[in-house]
Chains A and B, each alone.
Chain A
Amino acid sequence: GENVGLHLPTLSVQEGDNSIINCAYSNSASDYFIWYKQESGKGPQFIIDIRSNMDKRQGQRVTVLLNKTVKHLSLQIAATQPGDSAVYFCAERGNQGGKLIFGQGTELSVKP
């Protein structure tokens, strides 16, 4: 079946440290992966995406790594700030059009 899961449900870091959030997926046919940030009372906000023909993509303070061999995805946030505190979801696009399959989420807490 299709499933996307996260290794750690909660992550607490000190302001200024780097954060790494991990995700495992099971559908080897997925061709597109996205990280979303969801703050309390809001909808998911796009952070960064990566296609299956890439293994790394960088944005502003964020990097996504894709390891297709072990079906693993990670989000790295550099110099984590209090405003980064939120729940982070990985999602994969399965083989049914635009359907996104989300994992459970990791709550990131940044201590000042």
Chain B
Amino acid sequence: ETGVTQSPTHLIKTRGQQVTLRCSSQSGHNTVSWYQQALGQGPQFIFQYYREEENGRGNFPPRFSGLQFPNYSSELNVNALELDDSALYLCASSLDPKNEQFFGPGTRLTVL
């Protein structure tokens, strides 16, 4: 186990709703990265947070937003859910932005 936890493990939402996913980083890690993994695909980078600031963003629309808290835990928020948002959402924590990333088990989001 990596020490990175995510909640909830599974979630079902309907189109147009909003969702918040949570991630607790490994002790001592100040960086959290979020990825979306569609079925049968590799993870796609959403964004990274370093010391509570966004530190890079992938090709995702603004309805994907995030936060990092003083204890370095993080949230991913998705507004106006679409069917294509159905995926496994992974967070990874690291000592700093360029160090090895340790992944959590993911949150499986299903949008109906």
CB-CB < 8 A to B101: which residues of A?
Answer: 46, 98, 100
Q: Which residues in B have their C-beta under 8 angstroms from that of A33?
A: none
Contacts of A91 in B (CB 8 A): 42
What is the predominant secondary structure among interface residues of chain A facing chain B?
Answer: strand
- On whether the beta carbons of B104 and A43 are closer than 8 Å, the reply is yes
B71-112 vs A: 1/0 string, CB under 8 Å?
000000000000000000010101011111111111000000
Q: Is the CB of B94 within 8 A of A43?
A: no
Interface string of A89-104 (1 = CB under 8 A from B): 1010100111111111
- From known contacts A103-B42, A104-B41, infer whether A97 and B103 are also in contact, taking CB-CB under 8 Å: no
Which residues in B have their C-beta under 8 angstroms from that of A32?
98
Whole-angstrom distance from the CB of A19 to the nearest CB of chain B?
Answer: 19
Closest residue of B by beta carbon distance from A89: B42
Q: How near does chain A come to B23, taking the closest CB pair, in angstroms?
A: 11
Residues of chain A with a CB closer than 8 A to B55's CB: 97-98
Q: How large is the interface on B (under 10, 10 to 19, 20 to 34, 35 or more residues)?
A: 20 to 34
What number of residue pairs across chains A and B have CB atoms under 8 A from each other?
69
Decide yes or no: A104 and B42 within 8 Å by CB, A98-B97, A99-B48 being known contacts.
yes
Asked if A43 and B98 make an inter-chain contact with CB atoms under 8 angstroms apart, the answer reads no
B2 and A43 contact, CB distance less than 8 A: yes
Residues of A that sit less than 8 Å from B by CB? 4, 32, 34, 36, 41-46, 49, 89, 91, 93, 96-105
> Which residues of B approach A to under 8 Å, CB–CB?
2, 4, 31, 33, 35, 40-45, 48, 50, 55-56, 58, 90, 92, 94, 96-106
Q: A91-B42, A93-B98 are in contact. List 16 more A-B contacts (CB 8 A).
A: A34-B100, A41-B105, A43-B2, A43-B90, A43-B105, A43-B106, A44-B90, A44-B103, A89-B42, A97-B98, A99-B48, A99-B56, A100-B35, A100-B45, A102-B44, A105-B41
